[in-house]
Structure 1
Amino acid sequence: MTTVLVTGASAGFGLAIAERFLADGARVIAAARRVERLEALAARHPGRVLALPLDVTDRPATAAALAALPAEFAEIDVLVNNAGLALGLAPAHQAEMDDWERMIATNCAGLANVTRAVLPGMVARRRGSVINIGSIAGEVPYPGGNVYGATKAFVHQFTHNLNADLVGTGVRATCVEPGLVGGTEFSNVRFNGDDTKAASVYAGTQPLTAEDIAETVHWLASRPPHVTINAISMMPNCQSFGPLTIKRNG
């Protein structure tokens, strides 16, 4: 039975990803800070979900929690680094430093903390998939994206460098880079709980869904062992690339 660790599994992408693997018969370590939501997931899938309270930004606690997994969950086949967030949309000279620090701590350091704790076991077993949730913001800048986009550029490059280190080990890494995705808490978190402002992001569109991302992640993990997909960039049909901004005088 495949064992999957999903961070940020209490809602959104993480919950959808956990549910998709469970539907395929996997065991899931569902990790997040909101334990009650994880326990609800575990109750729906008796015996196949380990609800793991985890703050990925706490490196010692993360290492300790993953080192102490019960035997039936200890050999992780698939790691999905999903925990992450965007905060604010202010230009760089007006942004809150606390927001910047939290995004860096979660999106970069948190992802690195979990990956470093899980990789040695995968390499020792000579099998495993690391699937990192990035964003098109890591490659396509936009006003107000500043540090969020930079953290996702880290995820993109970190994934590629993992593959450079892991060549020949049987372990592979992929960066999944979605564009506009609706039906999650992403924009509500970004706009500090302003539901009206969050809803306006998706008005008049048919965005991707968390289930679209989950299906993609599941597909990646099910590729034959000799196949590495370095990155997948995905958008809804209602979204594409825009022209470069030009500021004109007069």
Structure 2
Amino acid sequence: MGKVAIVTGASYGIGKEIAKQLAKKGWEVALLARGLDKLREVQFEIAKENGVSLALQCDVSNKSSVSEAIGKVKEAFGNIDLLINNAAYVPPLHKFIEGEHSEWEKAIGVNVWGALNMTREILPSMVNNKKGKIIFMGSKAGISPTPQLAVHSGTKHMLEGLVGAIRQEISGNGVSLSIVRPGGVATPGYDHAVHSSAKSDEKPDWIPTKSSSCLDPVVVASQVVNIVDIMDSADITDINIAAVTTPSQ
């Protein structure tokens, strides 16, 4: 069997592109998300390029769903060498005092519990095997408290603390952890957060005003896949990715 990777939130955007690029490099990729139809579309795209993938419906915020999915991955592919904690939910931009609990619960469920559940399920075997890589998709909001993204920013701050602490706990065990912090990325998540909000004209300065000014998911994915390769010979603790700003005419 070849190298085995799990990518969460693999049905579109960054996760989809990471999965496709890993498959092109010979990884056997498990695609996880809640929407199975979309995952199967990604699986078909990978198959057209002679890649190997497995589409599994999974709610990362649900521990039982995660355990079941990971069991199926191990049954199909064997030991897991790489986990990309990519699944995320960004509520529409809003001031904290106007926030809706249902939106906050969804963001915390996916962004925090999703990463916790996946990592807790997979990390022990990596430590036992003394090898493995885990990459967390963070955000600039995770190191820069961001107005109108208070709860989302908080969830990404949680990942920063989580990754830093785990790195210290497993130091010397052969398992590498890294966090990637992209700025605004042209995905359906960006459109949902920005354009479904009445406050979108007041968005934070670092969030592009339109998707055409955002990072391309393909570019972000290529950097993540590059990190995967580099982690064999270097400790990549974190990386920031920002869109190129062009001078105004």
Shorter-chain TM-score: what band? 0.7 to 0.9
2:238 is the alignment partner of 1:237 = no
Whether the aligned pair in 2 keeps the contact of 1:170 and 1:225 (CA below 8 Å) is no
Q: Give the % identical residues.
A: 28
CA spacing shift, 1:226–1:201, aligned 2, 3 Å:
closer
1:132 corresponds, among 112, 136, 147, to 136
Normalising by structure 1, we get a TM-score of 0.87
- C-alpha distance in 2, partners of 1:203/1:235? 15
CA spacing shift, 1:228–1:89, aligned 2, 3 Å:
same
Q: How many residues align?
A: 235
Deviations 1:44-66 (A, max 9, x none): 33471110110001112211221
Q: How does 1:1-250 map to 2 (within 5 A)?
A: 1-46=2-47, 48-182=52-186, 184-191=187-194, 201-203=208-210, 206-238=213-245
State the SS of the aligned residue for 1:218. helix
Higher helix fraction: Structure 1 or Structure 2? 2
State the SS of the aligned residue for 2:114. helix
Return 5+ residue gaps in structure 2 as ranges: 202-206
State the SS of the aligned residue for 1:69. helix
User: What displacement does 1:238 show?
Assistant: 2.0
State the SS of the aligned residue for 2:73. coil
Deviations 1:125-180 (A, max 9, x none): 21111000000001112220100001011111211112111111100110100112
Counterpart of 1:37, as a letter, is K
- C-alpha distance in 2, partners of 1:37/1:25? 22
Aligned-pair Cα RMSD in Å: 2.2
Deviates more, 1:184-193 or 1:128-137: 184-193
State the SS of the aligned residue for 2:42. helix
Return 5+ residue gaps in structure 1 as ranges: 240-250
Normalising by structure 2, we get a TM-score of 0.87
Counterpart of 1:172, as a letter, is S
Whether the aligned pair in 1 keeps the contact of 2:30 and 2:73 (CA below 8 Å) is no
CA spacing shift, 1:95–1:22, aligned 2, 3 Å:
same
